[in-house]
Amino acid sequence: MSRTLQAWWRRLVVRLLGAPGTTVRRLALGVLGIGLLALVLQGLAPLVWLGRDKGGPVHGLAREVQTVALALSAVPAEDRPALAARLQEAGVLLTRLPASVSPSTDEVSERDPWFNPVQRWLGPDYRVRLLRGEGPPRLLVTLPPMDGEQWQLERRFDDRPGPPRVGASADPGSGPRPAPPEGGGALGRGIGTPPFFVPWGSVLWLVALAAVLFAVQAVAVRAVARPLQDLAEQLDRQHPLTDAEVQPLRVDPGAGQELHQFVDRFNRLAERVQAAQRERRALLAGVSHDLRTPLARLRLRVETQLEGPVVASLEADLTAIEHVVNQFLAYVQGEAAPRLGEPQPLAATVARVVAQARQAGQALQAPQLPQVPAARPCLLPERAVERVLSNLIDNALAYGRPPVGVAVSVADDGTWALRVSDGGPGMTAEQFAAACQPFVRLDSTRSDLGHCGLGLAIVAQMARQLNAELACVPARPGQPFAIELRGRQ
């Protein structure tokens, strides 16, 4: 159940904010971050102001407690009972505790919203207790010792809302205030900066407001970024690993003007690329077909009208020209409408191609085929495998050194690998990437050997058709240079 919930949550996040690393996700996070910053800045000032509770009931009560304590300390000890009687008329009950009685810590409610702020404001020299039971709650504050006497202030919360205003005003800037006793001490200290008090109601309201704003912003971001995601999905469906023509893109009519301009220019560029590809295919196909008839006539005349050693050299030249023409046609067919053949077991196709090459006199080692059949047979298009293998063998025989070998491996999970190796120095990764481009010759003698720079280009073309990865394995001590085609069925 948890995995299902996690998968559902991931799909929801991707649906709202886009996939990780995409422009849609970055745009969504940027807008949400700006909204969060604006919300924090707007709520910070009132949150701090309310949290300090300046002039509020808690702060006023702490001021009044200290005012009473200062008043008691300012009069002689024999006049304090009279002062306590006068303060009782204002709603404050002062009691002198016997010296042998210590203030009780029972019935202290530290979770009460009145307890912690008042205690923090007054400091450790005061002891604050809130008694709850039958009747109204009572606030008991044990004052600091005064000339060996211990006084306790009691306040009931049943006469009027909020703490009473006793003696001096709670506002330190108005009304009379007794002077602190000489020598300072706990009674002479000011209350100082009020501690931070979190108004949870305001915090919950801000959190709810943030959730609503985030939801609205997420919907707005999706409305803006949806056309971008649609374009990305269309490009993903273009199958970049194949040689299919690039299809024009479509954009939502409600998208922005910039996207319409981008799509329009992309479609015009795609049309030009398609036209250039069609023109190149037509040129290669036309030249190749037009050359076949003169080549056939030349071969017939060489075989029937000439004699002697010159015949062998002319036939070799004609064979090289025919090889170039055949490569032209193979490359054009692979671009336009590739006919890859019927699916056949990979090992059987490789064994047959290697056997035919060895019968033709090519110096090849016996292929290394899987000894144990895989759990499921690896079936690949026969003609595509033939083109790949024949071109790799031709390149290895022409530019490599013996021994030339072919190896095939097939795993139970459907992955397969086809490797052609030789004993030559090989090439670097940069040279290999350049050689996979059409009509690129790394060696100036290729034209003399009947090569036109299309051998590895055809292999790369077939690799894209098979959704396989083509790579070269550099030569190392104990490891020959090889070109490997790896894919998954």
Of 322, 442, 466, whose CA–CA distance to 388 is shortest?
Answer: 466
- Match domain 343-488 to its CATH number in 1.10.150.20, 2.40.50.140, 3.30.565.10, 3.40.190.10: 3.30.565.10
Q: How big is the CA angle at 391 (ends 388 and 394), to the nearest 5 degrees?
A: 145
Same fold, 257-332 and 343-488: no
**Which CATH architecture fits 257-332?**
Orthogonal Bundle (1.10)
Tokens of 167: 């003696």
Domain ranges in the chain? 13-53+200-236, 77-156, 257-332, 343-488
Of 42, 40, 13, 8, whose CA–CA distance to 28 is shortest?
Answer: 13
pTM above 0.75, yes or no: no
Distance CA(206)–CA(212), nearest Å, equals: 10
Distance CA(119)–CA(128), nearest Å, equals: 6
Distance CA(68)–CA(388), nearest Å, equals: 100
The answer to whether 473 and 484 are in contact (CB under 8 A) is: yes
Of 98, 94, 96, whose CA–CA distance to 86 is shortest?
Answer: 94
Tens digit of each residue's pLDDT, the chain (489 residues): 577 888 887 777 776 666 776 666 777 777 777 777 777 766 665 655 555 544 456 677 788 888 888 888 888 888 888 888 888 887 788 888 886 555 554 444 444 444 566 777 788 888 888 777 677 777 888 888 888 888 898 877 654 444 433 333 333 333 343 444 444 444 434 344 444 455 666 667 777 877 777 777 777 777 777 787 788 788 877 755 455 567 788 887 877 777 888 888 888 988 888 888 777 777 777 776 777 778 788 888 888 877 777 778 788 778 777 777 777 777 776 665 556 788 999 999 999 999 999 988 888 888 888 876 666 778 999 988 998 999 999 889 888 888 999 999 998 888 999 999 999 888 998 999 888 888 787 765 444 555 677 889 889 988 988 889 999 999 888 889 999 999 987
